[in-house]
A and B are shown apart, each in its own frame.
Chain A
Amino acid sequence: MSGDSDFDFLLVGSGVAAATVAMRLLARDPRTSILMLEAGDRIPSRDRGLWWDYVTNNKLPYDYTYDHDNPDNDTSGSGQSSIGNVRFEMHKSRITAMGGTTMHWGGWSLRMKPEDFVLCTNTGKGGDWTFSYDELEPYYCQAEDILSVSGGDEEGGAPRSQPYGQPAYPWQSADEDLKNAFDKSQLVSGRMPLARYRRCMTTGTCRYCPVGARFSAQYLVEDLENGAYPNFVVRTGITVTGLDMDGKRRVSGVSYLDRHQGNAPGKATAKTVIVCAGAFESPKLLLRSRTDGHENGIGNNNDLVGRFLVSHSFLSIKASKPTNKDRVASEFGFPTLMSRSYDTEEWQPKGKIFLFRNQNTPKVKWEHMMHAGKTRAEMDAIATGKMEVGLSAFYEEFGCKNNRLTLNTNGRTDQFNLPLQTISFSRDKQVKDNAGCLLNEMAGIMNNLDGYTIVDDSAKLEGAAGYHASGTCRMADSPENGVTDGNQRVYGTDNLYICSNAVFPSIGAVNPTLTLTAVALRLADHLGACTTAPQGDEA
């Protein structure tokens, strides 16, 4: 290994997937040489000045990394473009920085359920995983340890072989009315599993934790940097622009631009390359890498790269009552009450939903009232006045071939030299009808809130957004059905892997990060078990 050459592994990206793979490989052999390339910067963490800026001005040190949406859906415009019958919002849905999107995630850490791995078999929609829940279950346990997940007994949740390492966060007083409505509706109430270290002080400022109590992959990467791993190298400001091939099947490394050195071009080589760049940049990197034998991009001989884009839709409804005599207010910055009663095989054909109390209700921003000139007496009256509770849900959508991302044809790049994209995303009538049916179910629950009335026009199916995006390089049992095999190796290559939500053939109704961590552990074990560079096995 010298300079950027001859590493055992080259990881594109530094989010939870890359960090977990690196951690596992280094645990197996501390001498393993790993080069981690991150297009974004190293955002200062646990900085009290930055935290105060967030508390007082709602400004985050990574705001500048967010995508700029193109409001006109103009495919030649300056921002990310969205076409199709549903606008697809990218702004604030991901972070380009060391640690990736875990820099701002909420830490909700739920397992998918066994039926999610056989979605296509069960419903004829979306895709099946190439392995079962049972195979991933031990990795889920380890992933929960890595993310430091707090959770409790979860009746109706995914089966588990080990208890959580930390006790669940308690329900809050603000959960009480909705919990009673869940009971009346015969739903099982659960406690949200959350990735928080024991030092959590429930500041509610989880998007920038002042004490580093919410798991972030940045901490994991920095722990590895500070560990006894002489051959582990992380570089930020490095935008990988293409995968370099040595022959038709072997990837020799990557080409990049070094943003911190005036966009100086460079190359890095490795025996194995793992693209851990999320559900948007991973397929884009494959599409950009056009070489002999891969004229449409690496892994794209069947025109599947970038297709089957899935993201959670968001359902919400609110109810209110005239007084709040007990002055109930949401206490944490995250929900503690949830239910998986509609996250079941029975609901799978319609699209499962994962229910939780909207953590922003009931809540009042007292400082904003002071800013607006409200008197103390007026603020007191508001504290005991109208009270609102929201019920929200992630709604599973199924991968459709025509929901896809492509490279923006204008060739323009964003602030990190990453190519802009065009997203084509549509919902058919059945998806909308099913959402309407599920919103009716949610309204039924809200009608069981004692003393509340559903707020007019509050039942909504929100537009699509990049949160939890997946499926764009999905795994499948053949190159005709997917981009990677069951070990996440890109079809048509010997040593190129994808480790991202992009490989998920389905996403269920819950947040994907815990599953991604488990998948990354499984991949690392596969790679670590290969005593020689792995070989492809398909024709």
Chain B
Amino acid sequence: MPADFNLLERIDPSPLLGSPRQLLNSEIDGLWALFVEINSRWRLFHTRDAEIEVPDAKNLHSSWLELVTLRAQPHQYPNCLQQLPCYVEEYVNALSVIAALCSHDDSEYALDPLLAVTTQPENSRIWHARKFVVEEFMTVMIVAGGFKEFGGHNYDGFLGGSRFNEVTQIVAPLPSERGSAGTTW
């Protein structure tokens, strides 16, 4: 985080421009920690146990990583008027916002201004972090499977597999159908 970083600084509302590049491992780790924190607050993915409930977003890691990787290194499309914005600077900004918030508050509520509050000062750096990073991560969390927590069987954006239920059902045969040699299964 730059020393003079001000998370309330007003900047252009459109995505921050930056050159495409591969994200650093530390940046990916920092963004993943943000994703995990979102999951923890909404308890969309977790390990259920009679005694303990542990938030666990690991099974979304590949979907999430694809998003941030493609956002950081979008393709160029020749002869097409519409191009994807590169989010490298948005991700750097979000990590700086998180660092700034944590530097002011070391409690578990440090990220509340980013995650619990929905009305950040418009066009500020924290507004950018909310709109372009946090809210996109929330969307990934829902479409990649979080909707199931609310009883849904499918959702727009969910890659749920083929609609054809033609996989041969494999079931253990009844005891009487098993081989006389006592085949184990």
Instruction: Report which of B84, B151, B160 forms a contact with A50, defined as CB distance below 8 A.
Output: B84
Flag if A64 contacts B81 (CB, 8 Å). yes
Flag if A41 contacts B79 (CB, 8 Å). yes
For B111-148 the 0/1 string (1 means CB < 8 A from A) is 00000111000000000000000011011111100110
- Measured CB to CB, the closest approach of chain B to A416, in angstroms, equals 10
Flag if A370 contacts B138 (CB, 8 Å). yes
8 A Cβ contacts from A54-74 to B: 55-57, 61-64
Is B42 an interface position by the 8 A CB rule?
Answer: yes
Flag if A56 contacts B140 (CB, 8 Å). yes
Using A52-B71, A56-B140, A376-B42 as known contacts, say yes or no to A201 and B146 having CB atoms under 8 A apart: no
Flag if A201 contacts B162 (CB, 8 Å). yes
- Measured CB to CB, the closest approach of chain A to B43, in angstroms, equals 6
- Measured CB to CB, the closest approach of chain A to B70, in angstroms, equals 4
Using A49-B75, A204-B158, A373-B118 as known contacts, say yes or no to A383 and B143 having CB atoms under 8 A apart: no
- Measured CB to CB, the closest approach of chain B to A122, in angstroms, equals 39
Q: Which residues of A contact B143 (CB under 8 A)?
A: 55, 367
Flag if B84 contacts A333 (CB, 8 Å). no
CA distance A198 to B163 in the complex (A): 8
Flag if B79 contacts A236 (CB, 8 Å). yes
Is A200 an interface position by the 8 A CB rule?
Answer: yes
Is A303 an interface position by the 8 A CB rule?
Answer: no
Flag if A333 contacts B79 (CB, 8 Å). no
CA distance A105 to B135 in the complex (A): 28
Instruction: Report which of A237, A333, A384 forms a contact with B156, defined as CB distance below 8 A.
Output: A333
Q: Which residues of A contact B19 (CB under 8 A)?
A: none
Flag if A200 contacts B159 (CB, 8 Å). no
8 A Cβ contacts from A164-208 to B: 167, 169-170, 173, 198-205
CA distance A376 to B152 in the complex (A): 15
Is B185 an interface position by the 8 A CB rule?
Answer: no
Is A264 an interface position by the 8 A CB rule?
Answer: no
Instruction: Report which of B70, B135, B152 forms a contact with A52, defined as CB distance below 8 A.
Output: B70
Is B109 an interface position by the 8 A CB rule?
Answer: no
Using A48-B66, A370-B138, A371-B135 as known contacts, say yes or no to A203 and B82 having CB atoms under 8 A apart: no
Flag if B66 contacts A52 (CB, 8 Å). yes
For B96-110 the 0/1 string (1 means CB < 8 A from A) is 000000000000000
- Interface-centre pick from A52, A199, A379, A415 (highest chain B CB count, 10 A): A52
Of chain A, the residue at the smallest CB distance from B75 is A49
Flag if A47 contacts B75 (CB, 8 Å). yes
Q: Which residues of B contact A364 (CB under 8 A)?
A: 150
Instruction: Report which of A43, A173, A198, A384 forms a contact with B164, defined as CB distance below 8 A.
Output: A198
Is B1 an interface position by the 8 A CB rule?
Answer: no
Flag if B160 contacts A48 (CB, 8 Å). no
Is B74 an interface position by the 8 A CB rule?
Answer: yes
Interface size on B, residues (CB 8 A): 43
Flag if B163 contacts A55 (CB, 8 Å). no
Q: Which residues of A contact B147 (CB under 8 A)?
A: 329, 366
Flag if B84 contacts A53 (CB, 8 Å). yes
Is B157 an interface position by the 8 A CB rule?
Answer: yes
Using A52-B71, A201-B163, A237-B79 as known contacts, say yes or no to A366 and B135 having CB atoms under 8 A apart: no
Interface size on A, residues (CB 8 A): 53
Q: Which residues of B contact A203 (CB under 8 A)?
A: 156-160
Is A380 an interface position by the 8 A CB rule?
Answer: yes
Q: Which residues of A contact B118 (CB under 8 A)?
A: 371-373
Is A44 an interface position by the 8 A CB rule?
Answer: yes
- Measured CB to CB, the closest approach of chain B to A467, in angstroms, equals 21
Flag if A56 contacts B139 (CB, 8 Å). yes
Is B161 an interface position by the 8 A CB rule?
Answer: yes
- Measured CB to CB, the closest approach of chain A to B38, in angstroms, equals 8
Is B50 an interface position by the 8 A CB rule?
Answer: no
8 A Cβ contacts from B160-177 to A: 160-164
Q: Which residues of B contact A57 (CB under 8 A)?
A: 136
Using A44-B77, A169-B163 as known contacts, say yes or no to A63 and B66 having CB atoms under 8 A apart: no
CA distance A479 to B66 in the complex (A): 58
Q: Which residues of A contact B80 (CB under 8 A)?
A: 41-44, 61
Is B5 an interface position by the 8 A CB rule?
Answer: no
Instruction: Report which of A62, A260, A327, A373 forms a contact with B82, defined as CB distance below 8 A.
Output: A62
Flag if A210 contacts B159 (CB, 8 Å). yes
Using A53-B84, A367-B142 as known contacts, say yes or no to A327 and B152 having CB atoms under 8 A apart: yes
Is B48 an interface position by the 8 A CB rule?
Answer: no
8 A Cβ contacts from B27-54 to A: 42-44
Of chain A, the residue at the smallest CB distance from B140 is A56
Q: Which residues of A contact B152 (CB under 8 A)?
A: 327, 329, 331
CA distance A364 to B142 in the complex (A): 11
CA distance A48 to B75 in the complex (A): 10
CA distance A144 to B139 in the complex (A): 36
Is A332 an interface position by the 8 A CB rule?
Answer: yes
Q: Which residues of B contact A328 (CB under 8 A)?
A: 151
- Measured CB to CB, the closest approach of chain A to B101, in angstroms, equals 17
Is A326 an interface position by the 8 A CB rule?
Answer: yes
Q: Which residues of B contact A198 (CB under 8 A)?
A: 162, 164
Q: Which residues of A contact B135 (CB under 8 A)?
A: 367, 370-371
Q: Which residues of B contact A236 (CB under 8 A)?
A: 79
Is B6 an interface position by the 8 A CB rule?
Answer: no
Of chain A, the residue at the smallest CB distance from B119 is A373
Using A47-B75, A260-B79, A372-B118 as known contacts, say yes or no to A367 and B150 having CB atoms under 8 A apart: no
List the 4 closest A-B pairs by CB distance, nearest first: A327-B151, A204-B156, A331-B154, A49-B70
Return 10 A-B CB contacts under 8 Å, by A number. A56-B136, A56-B139, A61-B77, A61-B82, A202-B163, A203-B160, A204-B154, A204-B155, A237-B79, A329-B153
Given A61-B77, A203-B160, A204-B155, 10 more pairs with CB closer than 8 A: A169-B163, A200-B162, A201-B160, A205-B156, A327-B152, A367-B138, A367-B139, A370-B42, A371-B135, A376-B42
